[in-house]
A and B are shown apart, each in its own frame.
Chain A
Amino acid sequence: MRVRWPVAVEEGAVVVEAAEAVYPIAAVHGAAVVFLDRAWLRVHSDGDGRARIVARPKRAMTDDELAAFGGELLNELLHQALRVDVGARTEKLRELVIGKAVLSAEAAVEAPVAFADDPLGIAKPWEERFQDDKVQDEKK
């Protein structure tokens, strides 16, 4: 067994230890989903505040490759933890933006603009719109 904490290589598998206080469940799950197509994963937790993720790659790997694979998994864990943290911190802002968008859409539905109203004058023919300019040009 080769250990370079928190990544340990043992018998064709790599074990990554993660503190449960640092890496929430969603981060472990997120990292697991990313690696499911490349490895067989198992998550252990002995109630000591540490999760042990055992990854057994689906293709044969040397010990060095396994250690690098464990490093990738650790990086992904960190990435997922950050994603969860940012998601939690921006939750209120996201709710505000979505709420505002929904409210403005509802207001538009309550006071619809009929096609015949044409508040921007789009439906007016070109000749009518620029008739005055044409008359002035002819006078000149």
Chain B
Amino acid sequence: MSDDLFALGKRKTEPAPSRAIALPYTVQLPTRYYGRLAVADAVHAFAEVATVEIAVSQGTIAVTFKAIDAAESPALVVDEFLNHALYGSATAPPEARS
């Protein structure tokens, strides 16, 4: 059996290449989709690996990653943080999304 034929039955699961980000790194999140409490909860959850500051202004939550202390790439931590915040926002009751 050739390697090519064998590879047909195997799904490629190699991780996506990581990208580089420079710290401090700021992400603007719209309050329409991200809840302030959910973002604050994500900051608390990631406190051991990242130093994050949030600032709420008109319609946006500015999330600034000051430092990231992780074996993985900083971009991966940022991506996981944003997934966590989005999940928290999506599953929060409507009254807690302010």
Chain A positions near chain B (C-beta within 8 angstroms): 11-12, 20, 25, 28-30, 32-33, 36, 40-45, 47, 51, 56-61
Closest 6 CB pairs of A and B: A29-B90, A40-B79, A45-B30, A43-B33, A60-B16, A60-B14
Interface of A is mostly: mixed
Q: A25-B33, A28-B33, A33-B91 are in contact. Are A41 and B86 (CB under 8 A)?
A: yes
> Which B residues are within 8 Å of any A CB, using their own CB?
12-17, 19, 27-30, 32-34, 59, 79-80, 82-83, 86-87, 89-91
- Interface of B: prevailing SS: mixed
Query: Which A residues are in CB contact (< 8 Å) with B90?
Result: 29-30, 32-33
B67 to chain A, nearest CB (A): 20
By a CB distance below 8 angstroms, the chain B residues around A30 are 90
Evaluate contact between B87 and A33: CB separation under 8 angstroms.
yes
The contact sample of 30 A-B pairs, CB cut-off 8 A, is A11-B19, A12-B19, A20-B32, A28-B33, A29-B33, A29-B89, A30-B90, A32-B86, A32-B90, A33-B87, A33-B90, A33-B91, A36-B87, A40-B79, A40-B80, A40-B83, A41-B82, A41-B83, A42-B27, A42-B86, A43-B30, A43-B33, A44-B30, A45-B30, A51-B32, A56-B16, A59-B13, A59-B14, A59-B15, A60-B14
